[in-house]
Each structure stands twice: as structure tokens, then as C-alpha cells.
Amino acid sequence: MDAIARLLKPRSVAIIGASADATKTAGRPVAYLRKHGFSGDIYPVNPRAETIGGLPCYADIASLPATPDVGIVLLGAERAHLAVRDLAARGTAAAIVLASGYTETGEEGARRQQQLIEAAGGM
């Protein structure tokens, strides 16, 4: 399966920075994937939770039982590139980063954006 197919029809999704609170941005992906009938594997990643939405939660990307097709990154711009780097190293096809604080904020944001691009590598 090529990268575009894995993005558009993933068999598995990791949610980095997932929250058990479905009213928060970080809690919505798990809730929405389940509500809308996603039949693949969902891997919430949060070192401070044991379960999220009834699913086992993983402390970090390295702990995932399999390589996800897609990673949804719900971390601040200062840490998002680290998650993208770890996803790329595992062979994840694509990452969706929900963060602000990149080029729109000036020089520091532009530096963060470049870090993110470099971290994605061959995604």
C-alpha cells in the first residue's frame, strides 16, 4: 500500500498526545474515529494514561504494538517534531500535526517548521 493510500484509508492510527476528555481537541480523534465507524486499530499515546476511551494507552511511539499508517500529533509546536521523527523512524506513512506556532509566528516559528519538515524525512 503506498503512502497516499495509507493516509486516505489507514488500517491503523496513532494519536500522539491523546486525552481521555472528548471535549478537548486532544480527546476528539479517538471519539470521532470510533463514532464514525473506523474499523482499524487506534493507538492512543499518552504517558500519563493507562486507557483512553476503553483502549489501551501507550507511553510513547516506541511502545506501539505495530507501525501505524497515520499519526495524529496533538502536541505543541515545540515538541511535535519529535513525535513526527519517531513516527517516520517507525515507517508511518503520514503525520497530521494539529499545532500552531510555526512560520506564522516569525523566525522562531520558521525554525520549528523547518525542524518539522526535516523530522518527517521520507514520509
Q: What whole-number distance in Å separates Cα of residue 4 and Cα of residue 14?
A: 17
pLDDT confidence bin for 25, thresholds 50/70/90:
very high
Contact between 33 and 10 (Cβ < 8 Å):
no
Q: What whole-number distance in Å separates Cα of residue 97 and Cα of residue 33?
A: 17
Q: Which residues of 39-65 are buried (b: 16+ CB within 10 A; e: fewer)?
A: eebbbbbbeebeebbebebbeebeebe
Domain carrying residue 19: 3-120
**Per-residue pLDDT at 120:** 96
C-alpha cell at 46: 499518552
Q: Give the chain's domain count.
A: 1
pLDDT at 115 over 90: yes
CATH at 49: 3.40.50.720
Determine the average pLDDT of the residues in 107-117. Answer: 95
**Per-residue pLDDT at 64:** 99
